[in-house]
Amino acid sequence: MNIVIAGAGIMGKAIAGRLCRNGHDISIIEKDSGELNMALNAMDVTGICGNCVSPEILEDAGCAHAEVFIAATGSDETNLISCVLAKKTGAEHTIALLRDPDFRPGTNLWRDTLGISLVIQPDYVTAEEISRVLQFPAATRVEVFTEGEPELVTFRIPENSPICNIPLRDLRKNIRQDILICCIDRSGEYNIPDGNDIILPGDQVTVTGAPLTLRRFFISAGLYKKPVSNVILLGGSRISVYLQELLETTGTNVKIIERDSERAVYLSERLRKADIICADGANVSVLQENGLNNADAFVALTGSDENNIILGMYAQKSGVKKVITKVKNDRFAELLQDVFPDSSLSPLHLVTQRVEAYIQGLSYASDKSTIESMYYLGDGNTTATEYIAGTGSSILGKPLSELKFKEDVLLASVIRGGKSILPGGQTVLAPGDRAVVITRNAGIKDLDGLLEV
């Protein structure tokens, strides 16, 4: 696809790099010549130095023939205006990244009034991810598909877990819950298991099922931890604002430590139910004075990766059961998996993943199926993709037992009428069904691509 990206900052370069690796033709607009040259030297992309709200610059960048225009500058207003102009210039689809909390997520205003195809709020996306993990503390990641079922939960297996050393074909019978083990990460080796595989202590396992079923599974397996009730957020960023508002709906007590006095006043006026502390949270005595030892969870959300990592380690050492660290540098998130086995996350990764899923959906849409959402698991070579079955797929109308799937392909769940079905040999897919597929086969465009030719 021909894709134009406005902005060669950290976010713009990350999106361009991901899409470039997927074989798309990328053109970047950036008014800072230094930033543009860095992007051109690092990736196989073209670029133009200029202002993305200039109709002439948009034309020169190829918007008239672009399938997608992505506005990823540091200005919300610039992103909105450039999307409108790009659409007028001829871009088929537009994506805007917005950061101001006053631009509320989930509204159709952008699409209906301004013609913007997709709005992504990086801070809200990050807050959602943290909120899900805090409500499911045994997990390191929780992903939810479009209709809310099933959930995809990743967690680490402790020593002496009752689900260890049991062949997976017997596991469901033993625990009496309709769940499916989708992926096993054992010391960096990722595997889509079959019925003969077993789980060992230390494994990081991804499992799918309906939300209530998953909670029953965790109880049966001796892994359940109740949702947190007292949380300390370090840093009063936009992520903290969104996160407190999400946690407020669950009755969670939130304390935010923010060192900037003006920001602290703003937070206290906006977040009436949160406890706002104006102090330097990098001082460990401040953390202790504000109940770190009694907190169920500690979330480091400052603008410094170094502070987040160090203070996260301190909270972990102080006995906080759930520690989550935000890192801007995507590489840190991978390196920190051993340091923070609970959770370290990168907003950069979350946003690029969401953009890529949308682009994949546009690229691979056909009468066979469309892609609704996609998540990367483990090493990034394993994906969980939600397909919507079309009328033209050869996979429809046949029991799964009669179909020959490719190696490293697992049909994890079928969502029909908003309800999750754990597929078996007699399951038959119908048009409109949502199929959640786990695979290590890159480039599967539609449901028919899951089958051996």
Domain with CATH 3.40.50.720 in the chain: 2-120, 230-320
- The answer, yes or no, to whether residue 341 has pLDDT greater than 60, is no
Q: How far apart are CA 439 and CA 182, in angstroms?
A: 9
CATH 3.30.70.1450 intervals, the chain: 127-220, 363-450
| Amino acid residing at 378 | G
pLDDT at 424: 87
Instruction: Tell whether omega for the bond before 431 is within 30 degrees of 0, i.e. cis.
Output: no
Architecture field, domain 2-120: 3-Layer(aba) Sandwich (3.40)
CATH class of the domain at 230-320 = alpha beta
Q: Distance between CA 38 and CA 48 in Å, rounded?
A: 13
pLDDT digits (tens, 9 = 90+) for 212-259: 888 888 887 778 888 899 999 999 999 999 999 999 998 999 999 999
With 80 as the cut, is the pLDDT of residue 443 above it?
A: no
| pLDDT average, residue stretch 196-211 | 88
- What is the residue type of 130? I
Residue ranges with strand state E in 318-399: 322-326, 343-345, 369-377, 382-389
- Specify the pLDDT at position 344: 76
pLDDT at 107 over 90: no
Residue 377 CA to residue 353 CA, distance in Å, equals: 11
DSSP state of 202: T
CATH 3.30.70.1290 fits 363-450, yes or no: no
Q: Which amino acid is it at 261?
A: S
pLDDT attached to residue 441: 75
CATH, domain 127-220, list 3.40.50.2300, 3.30.565.10, 3.40.50.1700, 3.30.70.1450: 3.30.70.1450
Lowest mean pLDDT among 85-94, 197-206, 318-327, 442-451: 442-451
Neighbouring residues of 171: CB distance < 8 A, sequence distance ≥ 6: 163, 181, 199
Burial class (CB in 10 A: 0-12, 13-18, 19+), 103: middle
The 3-state DSSP class for residue 430 equals: coil
Separation in Å, CA 381 to CA 191, 348, 377, 378, 451: 11, 18, 7, 7, 19
How many Cβ atoms from other residues are within 10 Å of residue 215's Cβ?
A: 17
Please list the alpha-helical segments (H only) found in 338-436. Answer: 347-364
Question: How confident is the model at residue 330, as a pLDDT?
Answer: 64
